[in-house]
Amino acid sequence: MNPKISTWFLKSVSHFLNLKPAPMIEGSGSVKRIANYCIINKYRKALIVTTQSLIELGLLEGFFESFKKNGLEYIVYDNVNGEPNFVLAKNILDFSKNFNPDVVVAIGGGSVLDVAKLIAAALTDPNRPLEKFVGILKVRKKLKPLIAVPTTAGTGSETSFIAVITDAQGIKRTVVSPKIIPSLAVLDGELLVSLPKTLTASTGIDALSHAVESYISTCTKKAHDFYAPTAINMIFNNLKNSYENPDNLVYRNKMLKASYLAGVSMNNEMVGYAHAFAHQLGAHYHIPHGNAIAMTLVRVLQFQLNTATKKLAELASFCGFVDEGESEQKAAEIFIKKVAELISSLNLHQTCEKLKKEDYESIIENAFYETARRYPVSRFMTHDEAVAFLDSLKEEI
């Protein structure tokens, strides 16, 4: 498929879609307000999908107590570990089969939220094989109500229309549908205080990439253009502070809000090559997604510098990195430099030592395939440019 043709088609379709963000409540302790939301909406039975670590740390005690106090029934599946797959989804469905929940509450990182989206779809279409939900617009029935509570500030899954599920061959598959946007996003910084510094850093850079790549895409929607710059500015002002002061709820809450805004922007204006190549680094070398983004983002921005100069310069101005009157070219270069400096300050690697020459063809083919069908980038790579891009991943910025 010619990527320019597919991008034109994608942009044309996108302009007819106005993906509204998930309704949101925010602030420290807001997870305890979910019980009231359930009562208002007459949800009496909840399936809670989460992780053992959150329960062991005692971070959900107040949440469970609020359910008990209000007489709400719930069951807890807390064995979500690693990347979500169809076996896990099937286990959760079997676990909840006789309970017949009114609502699904997902509390965790992107993996928990993604598998919960599939569960919420399957609960309303129980006779359909889980694999049949994979693809674009394959979720046809209205979702079981889903409340998404992120415990990382990065994936944006709490408001996105995409879920990533690993199949039996270890290949990541995507469920893409506006129907899987959660019914409610709950942003509670108290759930992030125990997040390891490395995850704070890598998920924060993932959120940054969502906002930056969506803003410089050619799928511009003026109604959504304020989301990305606001998220980017919040990330520059709060990510390093959140990394260095993990117990500070002000920084944690602001990073959650930034991730949410970046997710809204990504929903409507897509991402680009940083994600396409990061997905391949993850698939080939098991590099966590945020870490892989840290390796690809700056180089992708450098590659697109001459075709996204104006927008990158706008971001530099919005974030206060340049004085009024600075040339667009210089301002764009300064913005990219600031991104590189932020990644470096978080002790994230911007090189990929695992990268092997013999994997180049597979990486390029799959990254090009992903980009051609999903991402309206401002400049497409040739094969030779992609080889040079991968070569540069072995060198320091």
pLDDT digits (tens, 9 = 90+) for 363-387: 999 999 989 878 999 999 999 999 9
At residue 16, the pLDDT reads 52
Provide CATH 3.40.50.1970 ranges for the chain: 29-187
The pair of three-digit structure tokens given for residue 224, joined into one six-digit string:
């959504």
DSSP 236-252: HHHHHHHHH-TT-HHHH
Q: Of 219, 148, 202, which Cα lies nearest the Cα of 346?
A: 202
Strands 162-166 and 135-136: unpaired
- The list of the chain residues with pLDDT below 50 reads none
Provide the sign of the torsion angle of the four alpha carbons 59, 44, 116, 249, taken in this order: negative
According to CATH, the superfamily of the domain at 4-10+194-392 is Dehydroquinate synthase-like - alpha domain (1.20.1090.10)
Instruction: State whether residue 176 is helix, strand or coil.
Output: strand
At residue 171, the pLDDT reads 76
Strands 172-176 and 162-166: antiparallel
Looking at residue 351, what DSSP letter applies?
S
Question: For the segment 210-250, what is each residue's pLDDT rounded down to a tens digit?
Answer: 999 999 998 876 656 789 999 999 999 999 999 999 999 99
Q: What gap in Å lies between CA 254 and CA 186, rounded to an integer? A: 13
Provide CATH 1.20.1090.10 ranges for the chain: 4-10+194-392
Burial 157-180 (b: 16+ CB within 10 A, else e): bbbbbbbbbbeeeeeebebbbebb
Q: Of 166, 175, 169, which Cα lies nearest the Cα of 134?
A: 175
CATH code of 29-187, in short, is 3.40.50.1970
Q: What gap in Å lies between CA 113 and CA 101, rounded to an integer? A: 17
At residue 7, the pLDDT reads 54
Are 200 and 153 in contact, with CB atoms under 8 Å apart?
A: yes
At residue 32, the pLDDT reads 97
Are 187 and 209 in contact, with CB atoms under 8 Å apart?
A: no
The H or E element containing residue 302 is: helix 289-303
Q: Of 12, 117, 3, 4, which Cα lies nearest the Cα of 370?
A: 3
